[in-house]
């Protein structure tokens, strides 16, 4: 099971941590994938940050929701609400997205068995499944805990467990491909 680092720009700004500093931390942890999320920035500002990240980080970089920044990274992660902006029919939405991103990595957020089953029919590289625990980076999340581990086995895609996942968490490698760690990266002494 690999570490999938989640860099949330709002969380970094609140804690006074620079992109350079968090990337140094991620590099020491040897995380092969990094997702960059910046809900409150423009595409232009996200691209600037992606350029900074890529100058310090050599792994795969995924942008959260902003397909307009795709040429500056290795993939796109899209949420359940954001996919609907492309088309209400998820199959058509994924086809539109694939036309724009080609063979780059594509992940979709899921939260329950029904969303996993729907995702199985889509051209995805992985699903994000959460929330495992409460997290400081997202409010109003539905925490499912170990129940997520039970429904993960229904995914035909790699599963990235997200939401309050900690660096020292261990999960069954046959069910969970990635531990998505965000807030725990920012803690002192970790």
Convert the pLDDT of each residue in 154-183 to its tens digit. 999 999 999 999 999 999 778 999 999 999
User: What confidence tier does 139 reach under pLDDT thresholds 50, 70, 90?
Assistant: low
Residues 125, 85, 132: CA angle, nearest 5 degrees: 50
Kindly report the average pLDDT of the chain as a whole number: 94
CATH number at residue 105: 3.20.20.70
Q: How many domains does the chain have?
A: 1
- Check pLDDT > 60 for residue 190: no
Task: Kindly indicate the confidence band of residue 187, based on its pLDDT and cuts at 50, 70 and 90.
Answer: confident
Is 143's pLDDT higher than 90? Answer: no
Cα separation of 94 and 92, whole Å? 5
pLDDT in tens, 7-40: 999 999 999 999 999 999 999 999 999 999 999 9
- 34 Cβ neighbours under 8 A, 6+ residues apart: 4, 5, 6, 7, 23, 26, 53, 57, 59, 60, 61, 62
109: pLDDT strictly greater than 70:
yes
User: In which domain, by residue range, is 166 found?
Assistant: 2-186
């Amino acid at each position: 099971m690999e570490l999938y680092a989640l860099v949330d720009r709002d969380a970094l700004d609140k804690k006074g941590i620079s992109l350079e500093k968090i990337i140094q931390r991620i590099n020491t942890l040897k995380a092969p994938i990094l997702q960059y999320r910046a809900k409150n920035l423009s595409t232009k500002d996200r691209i600037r940050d992606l350029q900074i990240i890529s100058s310090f980080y050599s792994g795969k970089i995924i942008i959260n929701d902003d397909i307009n920044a795709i040429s500056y990274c290795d993939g796109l992660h899209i949420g359940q609400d954001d996919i609907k902006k492309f088309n209400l029919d998820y199959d058509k939405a994924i086809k539109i997205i694939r036309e724009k991103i080609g063979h780059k990595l594509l992940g979709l957020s899921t939260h329950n068995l029904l969303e996993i089953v729907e995702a199985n029919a889509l051209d995805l590289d992985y699903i994000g499944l959460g929330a495992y625990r409460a997290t400081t980076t997202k409010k109003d999340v539905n925490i499912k805990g170990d129940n997520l581990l039970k429904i993960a086995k229904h995914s035909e895609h790699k599963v990235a467990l997200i939401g309050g996942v900690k660096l020292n968490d261990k999960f069954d490698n046959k069910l969970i491909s990635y531990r998505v760690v965000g807030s725990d990266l920012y803690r002192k002494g970790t």
